[in-house]
Structure 1
Amino acid sequence: MKNRVLTMLLCLLVSIVSSSSSSSGGGEQSLTANGKVLELDESNFDSAISTFDFILVDFYAPWCGHCKRLSPQLDEAASILASLKEPIVIAKVDADKFSSLASKYDIDAFPTLKIFLHGIPVEYNGPRKADLLVRYLKKFVAPDVSVLDSDSAISDFIETAGTYFPIYIGFGLNESMISKLAIKYKKKAWFSVAKDFSEDIMVLYDFDKVPALVSLHPSYNEQSIFYGPFEEEFLEDFVKQSLLPLAMPINSDSLKTLKDDDRKIALTIVEDETDEKSKKIIKLLKAAASANRDLVFGYVGVKQFEDFTDTFGADKKTTLPKMVVWDGDDEYFSVIGSDRIDEEDQATQISRFLEGYREGRTTKNRLGGPSFIGFINSLIGIRTVFMIVFVVCVVMLIQTINKDEPPRDGTQDRTDRASSSDSEAKSKDYKSGDKED
């Protein structure tokens, strides 16, 4: 019996491995940018990402509802992107079937989109409607630095850029002054230099002399201006600090962005970030951020992201607003006597909080329970969990078989007699217990 069950389990494992590594026929498909979504598998994936300079890959599962809704959007975008001067190819992988590819690229949710730029994967966090997806992806095939020679060229550039990336325009700057930074931060921002422009443009973008580097955040309606010194170190500091808005809403998408920033986060926790009281505080946070560029200023509402605020000991019963300085990992700092923002003179209270933090009048805290779950999830994906559960079940089944298997050394009679005696004793105890009840 035991050998038969073990044989069945081995067959099941072989079947799982075989189904994961089998090809769906995608390997025979010609890898050409024909305006259709390519189907990739383990046999042609590496070839695809080395053949095409720009390829967006959809890691999906056939049973996933979100994947099914995304599929026609990708089909529509594929034909448009293939016609660009620098074509962008869209492909898909059944990550549920080809699990080794899913594991290699840390896929633990569906659908997951990744852009492969010259073979290097970059997480895709942009829109998923066809027209917006096309606009977002055009960023990756645009020139490192666009040269603009008129007011209309500036307007067209900003229109093409859209709202998903910050935009840098160098007025009166030589292209070579920002080319290195444009290459370094190409995945995160648009870069351009304006060679010719009118005074109307100076008024529109609020700068009064040249050279000037203007940073725009269209989605937040924010802009910053840098007048120099135009040395690489100072330029990069400005670019890095301007990649994020002055006051950043904290959500699952923005947390991914923060991973690439090594600054600490001055985090304000409110009840509801959409109410008027919170909007007033957000405006004050932007003013504070302008004078404290070495910190990222963020805000989050308990109503909007309760699981996250719980990790800082803030819930619906906590007196809010509350300020902390978070290291972006497992620790945060409370400023002694200055972590709450009352109704009166909030600007002064924010200033006192920052002053107390810089003077070291703080207590160090560790994030609470939910962050631990997040940490575990970051180490092991859903597939790993399933495999662990499967292995545990197999071990338990084998132990059960070993326990129930009759002995083969001639001791069966003794075992039966012992079991019979145990059963009689238990029966007496059970009856005795009934009487006591």
Structure 2
Amino acid sequence: MLPKQVLISLMVAAGVVSASDVHQLKEDSFDDFIAKNPLVLAEFYAPWCGHCKALAPEYETAATELKAKGISLVKVDCTEESGLCQKHGVEGYPTLKVFKGTTDNPSAYSGQRKADAIVSYMVKQSLPAVSVLTKDTLEEFKTADQVVVVAYFKADDKKSNETFAAVAEPLRDNYLFGATSDPALAEAAGVTAPGVVVYRKFDEPVVVYDGAFEADAITAFAKTSAVPLIGEVGPETYSGYMSAGLPLAYIFVEGADDKAKYSDGLKELAKKHKGKINFATIDAVAFGAHAQNLNLEQKWPAFAIQETVKNTKFPFDQTKELTIESITSFVEDFAAGKIEPSIKSEPKPEKQEGPVHVVVAHNYNEIVLDEEKDVLVEFYAHWCGHCKALAPKYEELGKLYFDNPEFAKKVVIAKVDATLNDVPDEIQGFPTIKLFPAGKKSTPIDYQGGRTVEDFVKFIKENGSHHVDASVEKKDEPAASAETLGEAAPAATDAAEETASKSAEKKESSTSTEAAAETHDEL
């Protein structure tokens, strides 16, 4: 039998396999291609990158579908085109960026890495924030995506038009927005202008807004309507639930029967708390490890509520029977503020030893939120290979400040195992590194640069409140190497960047915890 790759090559040569719709670009063709195409999604990758390999078939499928819409997908091999990749600030693989007719100021792709998600995201990018609708385009537009928000107002109502535009602009990557001033269409929709209707492909397909025509209220309505009454946590939905700003009630189930039992039984409870608590099932077979992130044991069925903003966890007592009635009682107590959060923490170190401070849940506020110091924190996982590779450089970085008494008064280099300690932030990649500047602890700054000591020093100097300069002589290091970049995500949207490596390393993953990583790996 012929080897698989040989067979595929023969099939391509024979025309059995169609040519790729993804354009392979090089430095001498990239700028020209971007200039000639109004909307392009570019993938900067490395052939050895496991996440790039996982993305490839999804990217191909999306390219074929988007080709008919005049949207191009391209890719650049950074091992061959290092100059081009450096020019565009590539610091991890894969990096995806959206270009709109120019190479200036591309935007980071912030969608999921499945074909349908890529298509949905890029279609939204091709449209204005608010599409003008007519009787000929409205019906097709209402079913163009999972969630579509349509405003109906009078042609001379400039204020409502501006209000709706203010709602649509920051949410344009999430939902499709359209508007019409045709009074006949408003009447057919049962809406008194100005009004808003959300059309969706789940639960009740049409939801009419009945509040005041104000931006904040309409935004809240759109976000609430975009979430199913009882949805499902999975690859395509996890980040949406995390960014919704509402507590998320997880129902861990095994199989379709359990899922139906709890989904049907909890509908009334979910309706009662709609807009205040999101409810979702999660496949315990595929994503059971995520239970650890919620301070649950892997015993099913199971239930927990996560405050996504504060990242606090409220697990249901697993020594008690989980029933519709017991869940209802638990949720009502949670809503009434009668339940204390569960806090997972390693023992607090008796004293700090070494240049990198060890943070656990019980000393997090004491160290990280010290208003007098700039604190750089690495959120890591003990099983994470990329975290282990970073450790020597991170220790070296710590020594620059720890060994200098003046620097030590102003800067702390710290680390916390986010799989063994509850931390306030929802961590979506390992390692995740954040700077908490002195006097500005409520607005930490995500680190997204290279993984050299010099890069970290520069970041602390430029972004810390004390602007401490611990510069050392820079050594020549290869750009965009596997060692410095690993396969880690350069942005928060790549929460699953190291997730795929869980299979290779332990089977290693990268997300808010080891458990959440597995969830994201399938995303």
Which of 63, 75, 92 pairs up with 1:107? 92
Distance in 2 between residues matched to 1:357 and 1:384, nearest whole Å: 49
Which of 174, 177, 181 pairs up with 1:188? 174
Which of 220, 232, 241 pairs up with 2:215? 232
Q: Is 2:353 the partner of 1:372? A: no
The answer to whether the Cα contact below 8 Å between 2:302 and 2:318 also exists between their aligned partners in 1 is no
Distance in 2 between residues matched to 1:284 and 1:321, nearest whole Å: 19
Distance in 1 between residues matched to 2:239 and 2:59, nearest whole Å: 24
Cα-to-partner distance string for 1:288-327 (whole Å, 9 max, x where unaligned): 342xx24433332312311212322434435x34232333
Distance in 1 between residues matched to 2:73 and 2:42, nearest whole Å: 6
Distance in 2 between residues matched to 1:244 and 1:77, nearest whole Å: 26
| Residues 285 and 91 (structure 1), Cα distance of their counterparts in 2 relative to 1, 3 Å cut | farther
Cα-to-partner distance string for 1:90-109 (whole Å, 9 max, x where unaligned): 22111455568389445345
Which of 149, 154, 165 pairs up with 1:168? 149
| Residues 360 and 343 (structure 1), Cα distance of their counterparts in 2 relative to 1, 3 Å cut | closer
| Residues 199 and 357 (structure 1), Cα distance of their counterparts in 2 relative to 1, 3 Å cut | closer
How far has the Cα of 1:232 moved from its partner? 2.5
Partner amino acid, structure 1, of 2:109: V
Q: Give unmatched runs, 5+ long, in structure 1.
A: 1-34, 83-87, 390-437
Cα-to-partner distance string for 1:119-145 (whole Å, 9 max, x where unaligned): 11122326427xx96565222122322
Partner amino acid, structure 1, of 2:286: Q
| Residues 80 and 258 (structure 1), Cα distance of their counterparts in 2 relative to 1, 3 Å cut | same
Which of 203, 214, 223 pairs up with 2:197? 214
Which of 235, 239, 242 pairs up with 1:252? 235
Q: Is 2:323 the partner of 1:343? A: yes
How far has the Cα of 1:229 moved from its partner? 1.0
Partner amino acid, structure 2, of 1:185: L
Report the 3-state secondary structure (helix = DSSP H, G, I; strand = E; otherwise coil) of the residue aligned with 1:376: coil
Question: Equivalent residue for 1:325?
Answer: 306
The answer to whether the Cα contact below 8 Å between 1:214 and 1:226 also exists between their aligned partners in 2 is yes
How far has the Cα of 1:230 moved from its partner? 0.9
Distance in 2 between residues matched to 1:56 and 1:274, nearest whole Å: 37
Which of 261, 270, 273 pairs up with 2:252? 270
The answer to whether the Cα contact below 8 Å between 1:285 and 1:297 also exists between their aligned partners in 2 is no
How far has the Cα of 1:357 moved from its partner? 4.1
The answer to whether the Cα contact below 8 Å between 2:111 and 2:121 also exists between their aligned partners in 1 is no
Report the 3-state secondary structure (helix = DSSP H, G, I; strand = E; otherwise coil) of the residue aligned with 1:170: strand
Partner amino acid, structure 2, of 1:271: V
Which of 65, 68, 71 pairs up with 1:80? 68
The answer to whether the Cα contact below 8 Å between 1:331 and 1:367 also exists between their aligned partners in 2 is no
Cα-to-partner distance string for 1:15-72 (whole Å, 9 max, x where unaligned): xxxxxxxxxxxxxxxxxxxx97544456776887688653201234446654554565
Normalization by structure 2: what TM-score? 0.52
Question: Equivalent residue for 1:361?
Answer: 339
How far has the Cα of 1:339 moved from its partner? 10
Distance in 1 between residues matched to 2:27 and 2:242, nearest whole Å: 30
How far has the Cα of 1:249 moved from its partner? 1.7
| Residues 277 and 50 (structure 1), Cα distance of their counterparts in 2 relative to 1, 3 Å cut | same
Distance in 2 between residues matched to 1:213 and 1:313, nearest whole Å: 40
| Residues 350 and 51 (structure 1), Cα distance of their counterparts in 2 relative to 1, 3 Å cut | farther
Question: Equivalent residue for 1:122?
Answer: 109
Partner amino acid, structure 2, of 1:227: D
Question: Equivalent residue for 1:4?
Answer: none
Report the 3-state secondary structure (helix = DSSP H, G, I; strand = E; otherwise coil) of the residue aligned with 1:230: coil
What is the root-mean-square deviation in Å for CA atoms of aligned residues? 4.3
Cα-to-partner distance string for 1:366-413 (whole Å, 9 max, x where unaligned): 389786396534459998874599xxxxxxxxxxxxxxxxxxxxxxxx
Aligned counterparts, 1:396-435, within 5 A: none
Aligned counterparts, 1:62-81, within 5 A: 62=47, 65-66=53-54, 69-70=57-58, 72-73=60-61, 76-77=64-65, 79-81=67-69
Question: Equivalent residue for 2:490?
Answer: none
The answer to whether the Cα contact below 8 Å between 2:292 and 2:298 also exists between their aligned partners in 1 is no
| Residues 71 and 232 (structure 1), Cα distance of their counterparts in 2 relative to 1, 3 Å cut | closer
Count the aligned residue pairs. 331
Cα-to-partner distance string for 1:190-209 (whole Å, 9 max, x where unaligned): 1122424469943xxxx565
| Residues 219 and 75 (structure 1), Cα distance of their counterparts in 2 relative to 1, 3 Å cut | same
Instruction: Tell which has more relative contact order, 1 or 2 (C-alpha 8 A, sep 6+).
Output: 2
Q: Is 2:286 the partner of 1:304? A: yes
The answer to whether the Cα contact below 8 Å between 1:58 and 1:91 also exists between their aligned partners in 2 is yes
- Normalized per residue, the structure richer in helix is 1
The answer to whether the Cα contact below 8 Å between 1:322 and 1:339 also exists between their aligned partners in 2 is no
